Structure 1
């Protein structure tokens, strides 16, 4: 679990005070991995405390993070500095936060990032790393995984060394998120809740967090009486609680299938989950009905026909990726999930998207 958290509007201004005691020496920089949407945005970037050899890497979040991207960043950092960095700070949405977690791990572990896609493969603690979410919903700020697309699969580096050492939750940083992106990442949180609360891995810990996140999502996406600031605060806490819920349980069908879409087509995680979940009444009837109500209320039009012209080989690639995520299927359908899920069943579902 994340050991240190600050929350509150404007708490991003505490970043310098938080980092100062963690600086190893003047030659060991803090490396900031920042969503490039903020490049030239002095409202945020002027508040990043840069000293000595500290550096900002502006990274596009237009595509899902890749293992090769992690390896390139790690190599550049190692070749640029004599000492390991004092810390890695990710400022952005789920893509940027996952990159920051992965880079902090790979700076202290040999080999390539693709070798660590899986559960508990990391041998050495990551360097100090901090997460500053600027979009709410993915739960990346609290999860023990960093989801990466590799040459053969899309799968997280799941380990006890993955979670951030420090998270700064400043709802003010989410004020300029576009409406569609706000909805897609918010629904990622909502789908976390549905998959966790209906899963076979459910326990009292995950249920407590999942129920709170679920109630916050209903209030956020169906209540007309919230101010912008209240909505920002609540979605940030819904994201946190949703991430905590799946930390002690697991996600399910929507996430497994959206990984297939993402791997083959590059579909971003939030919208991919929405596209898949929209067709999962068979598995989550109440959850999908409420999702469609939220979608209609906010006038969200999901892309259609993504899989209309795919070849059999391309369908096989997506299905292979989805089926490889066995813990997700077991959580959704139990130990005998293979009796319910076949390759033909998955192709039938993908054809609806």
Structure 2
């Protein structure tokens, strides 16, 4: 039997206020004064001097503000890479992503595409990247996606939504400063946190489960329960730290296993309707009682506790062609279905069954 030999993030710093150490972390990594650090920053922070004034700029370093209103696209990666190449004297010393899963995925993809020829869409899939990425750092400002720890960068391409999944994708350095998550709006906090919760349920109940994944998944699941069900006794700062660690452990739980039905189906929603990943997972998971009875029951309790109303009827007006496209995209993710339902998954999840599920959303 051949075992997967996955890379992990080699360096991580954790703690409130650790963002202030960014300057000393980056200094030894600067190649020369003409090789800048490029900071890709969620544009919600444009007017937030509390964060932006602490970004350590020197020489030709640049901040590029990026909208996270839509899911990251391969075309967006290509235009960022072109912008960086045209506006820097030398290849950058590093790419630093500051934001949620969208910004972290973009930072990973840009770091890869600066050293690999062609377009980002050419690398959607498993182990297609040939050259090591430029040095890249991830600094999450919201918790749940696990993008800070994973070896994939999920992108919507011209034909499909699929990650650049490679040994060169993980960050070289991650800074986990839960203070950066303190102003996240409640709904966004919930949807992104549920991405982590759903990672855990899908990993722990999947056929790919092993002790490596299980140990991380169980830890992340417990932390999610504390944050989303028992938070009365938690200080805000403790809750932020626990969710940040849940995100890390949830991401680790799928490194050596896989996600499942909610993620496969939400890729279809995202590709066709532009539904953001976290909310898409929630909309799908809400309908999956048949497959994850305990997990969905707990999810509904969390939803009620935090007064979350999910959008309804988002697929009701779709044409037959649109529904078929969504089904094709979901079915393209065979490892997710096999993890959820076993090797004979196609006998259990037929096109009609999947269509019926989409029409409930």
- TM-score using structure 2 length: 0.97
SS at match of 2:290: coil
Residue 50 of structure 1: aligned partner: 57
Aligned counterparts, 1:1-353, within 5 A: 1-223=8-230, 224-353=232-361
Kindly state the Cα deviation for residue 76 of structure 1 after the two structures are TM-superposed: 1.1
Cα offset, 1:287, TM superposition: 0.2
Query: How far has the Cα of 1:325 moved from its partner?
Result: 0.4
Q: What's the CA shift for 1:342?
A: 1.0
Over the aligned positions, Cα root-mean-square deviation in angstroms equals 0.5
Q: CA deviation at 1:81?
A: 1.6
Aligned mates of 1:221, 1:135 — CA distance in 2: 15
Q: What is the SS of the residue equivalent to 1:49?
A: coil
For the residues of structure 2 that align with 1:340 and 1:160, how far apart are their CA atoms? 33
TM-aligned CA deviation for residue 82 of structure 1: 2.7
Q: Secondary structure at the match of 2:233?
A: coil
Q: How many angstroms does 1:174 deviate by? A: 0.1
| Long gaps (5+) in structure 2 | 1-7
> Secondary structure of the equivalent of 1:155?
strand
What SS class does the counterpart of residue 199 from structure 1 fall into? coil
Q: Hey, what's the Cα distance between the residues in 2 that align with 1:290 and 1:81?
A: 50
d(CA) in 1 for partners of 2:114 and 2:328? 30
The superposition leaves residues 222-253 of structure 1 with CA deviations (integer Å, 9 ceiling, x where unpaired) of 11211111100000000000000001100000
Q: Which residue of 1 aligns with 2:4?
A: none
Q: Deviations over 1:284-324 (max 9, x none)?
A: 00000000011001110000000010000000110010000
CA positional deviation for 1:40: 1.9
Q: In the alignment, which residue of structure 1 is the partner of 2:5?
A: none
Q: SS at 1:188's partner residue?
A: helix
- Structure 1 gaps of 5+ residues are none
Per the alignment, in what secondary structure is the counterpart of residue 146 of structure 1? strand
| Cα displacement (A) at 1:173 | 0.1
Distance 2:346 2:132 in 1: 36
Q: Partners in 1 of 2:304 and 2:146 — Cα distance? A: 24
In the TM superposition, what is the alpha-carbon distance from 1:79 to its structure 2 partner? 1.4
Separation in structure 1 between the aligned mates of residue 96 and residue 356 of structure 2, nearest angstrom: 42
Counterpart CA distance in 2 for 1:345 and 1:117 is 28
CA deviation map 1:74-133 (0-9, x unaligned): 011111123100000000000000000000000000000001000000001000000000
- Please give the alpha-carbon distance, in whole angstroms, between the structure 2 residues aligned to 1:270 and 1:345: 23
- C-alpha separation in 1, matches of 2:338 and 2:112: 28
1:272 and 1:179 mapped to 2: Cα distance? 16
Q: TM-score, normalised by structure 1?
A: 1.00
Q: Which moved further from structure 2: 74-83 or 84-93?
A: 74-83
Render the CA deviation track for 1:116-169: whole Å, top value 9, x for unaligned: 000000001000000000000000000000000000000000001000000000
Q: Deviations over 1:4-33 (max 9, x none)?
A: 000000000000000000000000000000
